[in-house]
Amino acid sequence: MKLYYSPGACSLAAHIALQASGLAFEAIAAPTKTHQLPDGTDFYTLNPLGYVPLLALDDGAQLRESAAILQYIADLVPAQHLAPANGSFERYKLQEWLSFIGTELHKNFAPLFAPGMPEEAKKIAKTRLLSRLAWVEGELARTPYLGGDTFTVADAYLFTVVSWKKHVGLDLSSLPNLSAFLERVGAHPAVQAAMRAEGLIK
């Protein structure tokens, strides 16, 4: 199994999940700026969409979207409890979180990274993000992780996306529960291992 990633991008969530899973995998850098693999291969020949993550299975099958990849990894190792059991209400809540993170947070960070985006548009994006994160803040007042007392793949995704705050000047000082969540998840061994492998920490 191979994970194609770009350091610090949304693919970090899948990298964290794989580290937490204990599964054997190969992580291959596919930088979003160059789309060139370490051996010189054009990443577009593997994924015509050009973005990460891309999970390539040993039989040649591929998964491209974070929510699908995260659940697939979790389901390979149910004993690790990275996702609730399929069919359970808790699993639908996890899917709800993955959808929310992908559409309401991940996508709303995009304007802040876009070259040439007008400052007024960035201001609107930040306001929208902070309103969504304020809701997350309230949810985290009740439990240490998104699904309760146990770390899941949804936490890996939220941690990855919200960590982009330092690159776009998003101030979370008014959100202490979310800030505590970032510290808590950031200390998780799987998170530390994935970030170290991507050169994000020493």
| Distance between CA atoms of residues 11 and 53, nearest Å | 5
pTM for the full predicted model: 0.96
**How high is the pLDDT of residue 52?**
97
**How high is the pLDDT of residue 129?**
96
Biggest CA-to-CA distance, the chain: 48
Please give the average pLDDT of every successive group of 10 residues along the chain, which has 202 residues: 97 98 98 94 96 97 98 98 97 98 95 93 94 98 96 98 95 96 98 98 90
Q: In what order do the strands lie in the sheet with 2-5?
A: 26-29, 2-5, 54-56, 62-63
**How high is the pLDDT of residue 80?**
97
**How high is the pLDDT of residue 188?**
98
* Domains of the chain, each with CATH number or no CATH: 2-81+190-197 (3.40.30.10), 89-188 (1.20.1050.10)
Handedness of CA 38, 43, 18, 184 (dihedral sign): positive
| Distance between CA atoms of residues 67 and 94, nearest Å | 10
